[in-house]
Amino acid sequence: MGINRPVYAASAAWRGFFVGGEMTTYESHILGHREFVGGEWERVGRLMFEWMLREGLKPHHYFLDAGCGGLRCGVHFIPYLDVGHYWGLDKRQWLLDAGLECELDAQARAEKQPRFIVNAGFDLGAVPAGVAFDYVLAASLFTHLRQTEIQHCVEALLPRMASNGRLYATYFRWAGKSEPQIIAGPYGELYGPELDEDWFAGMVQCLGAEVEPVSQYGKPELQEMLCVRKAGGEGGSGNRVGSGC
Ligand SMILES: C[S@@+](CC[C@H](N)C(=O)[O-])C[C@H]1O[C@@H](n2cnc3c(N)ncnc32)[C@H](O)[C@@H]1O
């Protein structure tokens, strides 16, 4: 799991170890929350943080860390953002707990009051109506979701984004030569499904948003990065219902 794709996809040890799906608490302690999300803890977390800064993130923005895991990225964003402006969403409580207990500075947690939501359906019902996310980061999330889940994720998140909000997501590109590759992960989860960019752009357009080009973010050798910009911002093209949606 995580950004460094070939390692875990090929690991027979992982497959044997996690036969049967979700890890138990015991297993997760052996593996550790850092390795569970792909390792490269400091490098990836800092890379994502610095990327968001270059893309214009400021402390006053509301930020959603979609699939925040053990806070590999969160430990950088939480101290930077204003009080209550970091929101983390994940489906694994144990991973989040590990991040809070082992990774996040206690003072930063107390001072910045990050908010967390745990569910697998991208349900943001717990977010107050007055909060609209300026930036959403899905780091190594789409790389574990089926196409239908990615669509559901974007459908759920877009309405909770600011009018000029952007969603950044890393993904594996589908080259279009054969069927998109889908590998069953070692703990009841997909590993590395490839994204059909044409399908994604069309789906996003039907939701009244658009995919924007993204400049080099520093790790293209492993995962690509895309940006979804909500219509209503500058250059937004509006809903294309009636043109193939
Ligand atoms: C490779 S990890 C990346 C975690 C974090 N973004 C990072 O870069 O360290 C993928 C994360 O997505 C979470 N995830 C997978 N499917 C999810 C879903 N349907 N809803 C919420 N979180 C999900 C996993 O629990 C895991 O924490």
Domain boundaries, the chain: 5-230
Q: What are phi and psi of 21, to 5 degrees?
A: 105, -135
Total-model pTM: 0.85
**Which pLDDT score is estimated for 20?**
40
User: Tens digits of per-residue pLDDT, 3-54?
Assistant: 333 223 323 333 333 334 455 555 555 568 888 888 889 999 999 999 999 9
Q: Six-digit token pair at 67?
A: 């699939």
Q: What are phi and psi of 159, to 5 degrees?
A: -65, -20
Q: What is the C-alpha to C-alpha distance for residues 173 and 171, in angstroms, rounded to an integer?
A: 6
Tell me the CA end-to-end span of the chain in Å, nearest whole number.
Answer: 33
**Separation of CA 89 and ligand 1 centre (Å):** 8
- Note whether 46 and 80 are within 8 A (CB): no
**Which pLDDT score is estimated for 216?**
77
**Which pLDDT score is estimated for 223?**
86
Confidence of residue 158 (pLDDT cuts 50, 70, 90): very high
For 5-230, which CATH class? alpha beta
Q: What average pLDDT does this structure show over 52-57?
A: 96
Atom 27 of ligand 1: nearest residue by CA position: 69
**Separation of CA 5 and ligand 1 centre (Å):** 15
User: Tens digits of per-residue pLDDT, 165-203?
Assistant: 999 999 988 877 666 566 665 555 666 678 999 999 999
**Which pLDDT score is estimated for 215?**
77
Q: What average pLDDT does this structure show over 104-132?
A: 97
Q: What is the C-alpha to C-alpha distance for residues 12 and 41, in angstroms, rounded to an integer?
A: 23
**Separation of CA 154 and ligand 1 centre (Å):** 15
Q: Which residues line ligand 1 (CB under 6 A)?
A: 1-2, 37-38, 44, 67-69, 72-73, 89-92, 95, 120, 122, 139-141, 144
In the three-class reduction of DSSP (H, G, I as helix; E, B as strand; rest coil), residue 93 is classed as: helix
**DSSP state at residue 24:** P
- Round the average pLDDT of the chain to a whole number and report it: 82
- Note whether 163 and 232 are within 8 A (CB): yes
**Which pLDDT score is estimated for 186?**
57
The single residue listed with the structure tokens 């993204």 is 214
Q: Is residue 241 predicted with pLDDT exceeding 60?
A: no
Q: What is the C-alpha to C-alpha distance for residues 100 and 88, in angstroms, rounded to an integer?
A: 11
Percentage of the chain beyond pLDDT 90 is 60
- Ligand 1 atom showing the smallest separation from residue 145 Cα: 16
Q: What average pLDDT does this structure show over 207-230?
A: 85
Q: Is residue 2 predicted with pLDDT exceeding 60?
A: no
